[in-house]
Chain A
Amino acid sequence: MEYFIELFLSGLTRGSIYALIALGYTMVYGIIQLINFAHGEIYMIGAFVALIVAGVCTIYGFAGVSVLIIAAIAAVIYASAYGYTLEKIAYRPLRGAPRLSPLISAIGMSIFLQNYVLLAQTSDFLPFPRLIPDFEFMEPVAHIIGSPELVILVTTVVTMILLTLLIKKTKVGKAMRATQQDMSMARLVGINVDRIISLTFVIGSALAAIGGVLVASYIGQVNFYIGFLAGVKAFTAAVLGGIGSIPGAVLGGLVLGLTESFAAGYVSSDYEDVFAFGLLVLILILRPAGILGKARKQKV
C-alpha cells in the first residue's frame, strides 16, 4: 500500500509539472490553433536561466530560500521575454498563412533554440543546486513525500488558482476568452488581438518557466535537450484533457503523470514513454476531443 501511495504522489508531482507546461500549449492553441512546438524549449530556457542565476548567486555568497526566489523570478522574466520574442519573430508574420507553415516554423524555432543553448552553454548535463530546503514539519511523512514534492504541488495549485482568477475575473482574462471564441469579432469590439496573443505567450512561458525551475531543482540536473521530451509530454497532456480547455490541461497532466508513474512502478521504467504515447494514441482514437474538450464541428 505504501508503495502505491509513493507512486501516486510521485505521479501527482510529475503530473503537476506536465500540467504547468501543458497550460501554455492549451492557451496558445485555444487562441491561434497552433501547436507551439518551441514551448518545451521555453521551459528549458527557464530552467537554464534559473541554474545560471542560482549558480552566480551561490558563488557570490547568497544562500537559502532567497536564491530560489531570485532564480525563479529571473527564470520567469526571461522565459516570458523569450516567449514574447518567439511569437513576434516566428508566428506573427505567418498569421493567415496555410496551417502547415506556422507548425514548421515552430519546429524550426524549437531546433534553433535547442542548438542556441547547446552552443552558448554546453551539451553536458549541468548539476542544478538543491534550492528547496527540507522542511522540519515534513519529517514524519518524509519517507512518503519529500519537501520538493510538496513545494511542487503547492506551487502548482497556487499557480492554477491565480491563473483561473486571471482568466475568469479580470478584464484581460475576459479579452482573452473573447479572442479565443472569435478573433475577428473580438477585434470589432475593440480588443487589441495582437496584444492579447502576445500576452498569452507571455503567460504560458511564465508558467513553463515555473515548471522548469521546479523540475530542475527536483531532478537536480539540466541539459539543453530536456525541453523536447517535456514539451511532447505536456502536449500529450493538453490533448488528453482536451486542447484549448484550461481545466482539461490540468487534468490531462495529472492523468499522464499518474499513468507514467504507475507504469514505471508496476511494469517497467524503460517503457514509461511508450505508455505515455500509447495513452495519447488511445485517447485520440476513442475521444479525439479529449477528456474535457468539446467536439467542435468543422464548419465551411
Chain B
Amino acid sequence: MLKEFRQSLLVSIWFVFLTFPLMVVRVNTTESIVEWRWMSLVWVAVASFFLSYLWRYMLARQQAKKKVEEEGVQQLSKAQLLLEDMTFRYKAMGVLLAFSLVFPWIFDTYQSTIMISALIYVVLGLGLNISVGLAGLLDLGYVAFFAVGAYSYALINHHFDFGFWACLPVGGVLGCLFGVILGFPILRLRGDYLAIVTLGFGMIIKVVLENWNEFSFGPSGIANIDRPGLFGIDMNIDGSTTYIYYIMVAMVVFTILITMRLRNSRIGRAWIALREDEIACVAMGIDMARTKLSAYALGAFWAGMVGVLFAAKTTFINPASFTFMESAIILSIVVLGGMGSILGVILGAFILILLPEYLRAFSEYRMLAFGAAMVLMMIFRPQGIISNIRQKYEYKGLKEEADNG
C-alpha cells in the first residue's frame, strides 16, 4: 500500500517536472511577457497521481488475461456471442437499415449532412480495413487515394462536364490504378517501410496539388462541382442532401457486402494469412506480391470512389482537405474499431466522427484523445472495440465419433 503510494507520488513528481515548461510557462518574446500558469501544474500532479494507479491496475489485469489466454481457454463475452448469433444479426441489420432509410425524414438537413460525413468515413474505414486490418499493410497515406478520387471528379466535371454517375467508377478505378502504381515497387518491402513510403506518397500528392496550378488550380481549389443528378430533375439543397444521403447509404451497404464476401473468399484468407506470418504464407504457395497488391489496390478503390462522392457533396475541394490528419483519423477508426472487424470499423467511424460533432466544446481535444486512444488501445485492447472472431471449422464427424466412443 505504502509502496504503491510512493510509486504514484514519484510518477506524479516526474510528470510535474516533465510538463513544467510546456504547461506552465508561456513566453511572448516580441512583447517580453512571461505568463506563468501554476494551476495547470496542480492538475497534472493530481491527474498523474491517480492515473498511475489506474495504469498499474490495467497492466496487471492485462498480464492476468494474457496468462489465461496462454492456457488455451478462449472466452467470448456475452456481447460477442450475441453478435455471432445469425438470427440476431439479421434482425439487427434489418432494424438498422430501416432506421437509416427513414433517418432524413425524421431529422433535419443538418443532421443528414453530419450523417453523410460519418458514412463517408465508414466507407473509408472499411476500405483501409482491407489493407491494414486484413492484409496487415500499414497505409499512412490513405487520404491520397481519397484525393485522387475527389480531384478526378472535380477536374473531369470542370473540363468535360461529365456527371457524377459517369465519374463514380472512374474515380474508383483511378484510385485503384494509383494504388497499383505506388504499390508495385514497394510491396516487396517490409511493413514499416511501407508505412513511411505511403506517408511520403500522401505528402507528395498534397504538394503536387498545391503547387501545380495549371492542373489542379493550386491551393484555391475547385469550386462549383456538380451535385449528383437524378434523371435531370432539379433539386434544392435539402433535396439533394437527402439524395446524397441515400447514395451514401447504398454505398455503405455495397461496401459492407463486398468486404464481407472478400474476407471470406480465397483472397481474403490469403490476406489474413499474410498478415499473420509472411514466411509461412509464402511457403504455402501464396504469391505475396500479388496478394498484397490486390489488398492495396482494393483499399484504394474505395477511397477513390468515396472521394468522388465527397467532391459532389461539398461541391468545393482544395488540397487542405487531404492532410495527414485525415489519414490519421481514418487509421484510428480502423484501429479503435477493431482491425479486420467490419462491425467494429463501422462502430469506430460513428464514434470518432459523430462524438466530436456533438461535443463541440471538446473538439479541440479531439486529436489529443485520438492519439492517446490509439496508444492505450494497442496496449490494453489490441483487438479493438469489437474483436474480429476468427472463423473455425470443426469436423463434425470426428466430434460425434469422439462423443460416441
Please report the C-alpha to C-alpha distance between residue A278 and residue B182 in the assembled complex, in whole angstroms. 11
Q: At the interface, yes or no: A99 with Cβ under 8 Å from chain B?
A: yes
A70 CB to closest chain B CB, in angstroms?
A: 12
With an 8 A cutoff between CB atoms, is A55 at the interface?
Answer: yes
State the CA gap A99–B378 with chains docked (Å).
11
**Among the listed A100, A127, A268, A271, which residue makes an inter-chain contact with B191, where contact means beta carbons less than 8 Å apart?**
A100
- Choose from A55, A103, A300 the contact partner of B34 (Cβ within 8 Å): A55
Say whether chain A's binding surface is mostly helix, strand, loop, or mixed. Answer: helix
Q: Which residues of chain A are near B279, meaning CB under 8 Å?
A: 298, 300
Q: Which of A5-13, A46-54, A134-142 contacts B (4 or more CB under 8 A)?
A: A46-54
A55 pairs with B22, CB closer than 8 A:
no
Contacts of B210 in A (CB 8 A): 270
Q: How far is the CB of B331 from chain A (nearest CB, A)?
A: 7
Binds B, one of A105-113, A163-171, A172-180, A202-210: A105-113
Contact with A along B1-27 (1 / 0, CB 8 A): 000000000000010011101110111
| Contact of A189 with B by CB under 8 A | no
Interface residues of A in 220-257 (CB under 8 A from B): 228, 232, 235-236, 239
Residues of A within 8 A of B207 (CB): 270-271, 273-274
CB-based contact B25/A59 at 8 Å: no
A62 contacts the other chain (CB 8 A): no
Distance from B49 Cβ to chain A, minimum over Cβ atoms (Å): 16
Contact of B374 among A34, A99, A105, A117 (CB under 8 A): A105
Task: Collect the chain A residues with CB atoms within 8 Å of residue B34's CB.
Answer: 55-56, 59
Contact A108 B22 (CB under 8 A): no
Q: Given A85-B14, A104-B378, check contact A116 B189 (CB 8 Å).
A: no
Across the interface, B200 reaches (CB within 8 A) one of A34, A45, A89, A280, namely: A280
Given A55-B34, A74-B21, A236-B200, A119–B364 Cβ distance below 8 Å? yes
Q: Is B368 interfacial (CB-CB < 8 Å)?
A: yes
A228 to B327, CA, bound (A): 14
Known: A100-B191, A270-B211, A300-B279. A108 touches B375 (CB 8 A): yes
B379 with A48: CB separation less than 8 A: no
Mark interface residues in A269-296 (1 if CB within 8 Å of B CB, else 0): 0110110111011001100100000000
B368-A115 in contact (CB<8A) = yes
Quick check: A108 and B197 within 8 Å, CB to CB?
no
Chain B facing A: main interface SS: helix
Given A52-B27, A121-B26 in contact, is the A105-B191 Cβ separation under 8 Å?
no
Which residue in A94, A102, A107, A116 is a CB contact (below 8 Å) of B22? Answer: A116
**Assembled-state Cα–Cα distance A227/B40 (Å):** 24
Residues of A71-127 contacting chain B, CB below 8 A: 74, 78, 81-82, 85, 89-90, 93-94, 97-105, 107-117, 119-122, 126-127
Residues in A whose Cβ lies below 8 Å from that of B370: 108, 111
Q: Does B382 contact A (CB under 8 A)?
A: yes
Chain B residue nearest to A122 (CB atoms) is B26
B372 & A277 in contact (Cβ 8 Å cutoff) = no
| CB-contacts of A124-168 with B (<8 A) | 126-127, 129
A181 interfacial by beta-carbon distance below 8 Å: no
A120 surroundings in chain B (CB, below 8 A): 19, 22-23, 40
A35: Cβ under 8 A from any B Cβ: yes
Interchain CB contact under 8 A, A35 and B195: yes
Given contacts A52-B22, A105-B375, A284-B189, contact A112 B200 (CB under 8 A): no
**In angstroms, how far is the closest chain B Cβ from the Cβ of A146?**
21
- Cβ–Cβ contact B328 & A107, under 8 A: yes
Once bound together, how far apart are the Cα atoms of A58 and B23, in whole Å?
20
A281/B196 contact (C-beta < 8 A), A109-B375, A110-B371, A120-B22 known: no
Collect the chain B residues with CB atoms within 8 Å of residue A276's CB. Answer: 200
Roughly how many angstroms separate A58 CA and B30 CA in the complex, as a whole number?
11
B203 neighbours in A (Cβ, 8 Å): 232, 273, 277
Residues A176-217 near B (CB distance < 8 A): none
| Closest A residue to B368 using CB positions | A115
C-alpha spacing A70/B266, complex, angstroms: 62
Q: In the bound complex, do residue B371 and residue A108 qualify as a contact, i.e. CB atoms below 8 Å apart?
A: yes
The contact of A48 among B22, B30, B132, B138, by CB within 8 Å, is B22
Residue of B nearest to A110 (CB): B371
**In the assembled complex, which residues on chain B have CB atoms less than 8 Å from the CB atom of A103?**
138, 191-192, 195
CB proximity of A129 to chain B, nearest CB, Å: 6
A109 contacts B189, C-beta separation under 8 Å? no
Contact: B324 with A228, CB < 8 Å? yes
Q: Which residue of chain B is the closest to A112 with respect to CB atoms? A: B371
User: Which of B28, B30, B368, B375 is within 8 Å of A116, CB to CB?
Assistant: B368
Contact of A56 with B379 in the complex, beta carbons under 8 Å: no
- Looking at the assembled complex, report how far the CB atom of A99 sits from the nearest CB atom of chain B, in whole angstroms: 6
Cα–Cα distance between A52 and B24 once the two chains are bound (Å): 10
Shortest A205–chain B CB gap in Å is 12
B32 within 8 A of A: yes
Give, as a whole number of angstroms, the nearest-CB distance from B94 to chain A.
35
A116 to B22 alpha-carbon distance, docked (Å): 9
Q: How far is the CB of B218 from chain A (nearest CB, A)?
A: 10
Scan B178-205; emit 1 where CB is below 8 A from any A CB, else 0.
0000000110110111011101110110
Contact of B335 among A89, A104, A119 (CB under 8 A): A104
Query: A235 and B196: CB pair below 8 A?
Result: yes
Task: Chain B residues near A113: list those with CB within 8 A.
Answer: 371
Q: Is B59 an interface residue (CB 8 A)?
A: yes
Q: A108-B373, A114-B371, A274-B208 are in contact. List 10 more A-B contacts (CB 8 A).
A: A48-B21, A55-B28, A82-B18, A89-B375, A100-B136, A108-B377, A236-B196, A273-B207, A277-B197, A285-B186
Could you give 21 example pairs across A and B, Cβ below 8 Å?
A: A49-B22, A51-B27, A52-B21, A52-B25, A55-B29, A56-B25, A93-B62, A97-B378, A99-B191, A100-B191, A104-B374, A108-B373, A108-B374, A109-B371, A111-B328, A111-B371, A113-B371, A126-B29, A228-B324, A277-B197, A281-B186
Report B's interface with A, CB cutoff 8 A. Answer: 14, 17-19, 21-23, 25-30, 32-34, 40, 59, 62, 132, 136, 138, 140, 185-186, 188-189, 191-193, 195-197, 199-201, 203-204, 207-208, 210-211, 279, 324, 328, 331-332, 335, 339, 364-365, 367-368, 370-375, 377-379, 382
Closest 8 CB pairs of A and B: A108-B374, A112-B371, A55-B27, A111-B371, A277-B200, A115-B368, A270-B211, A105-B378
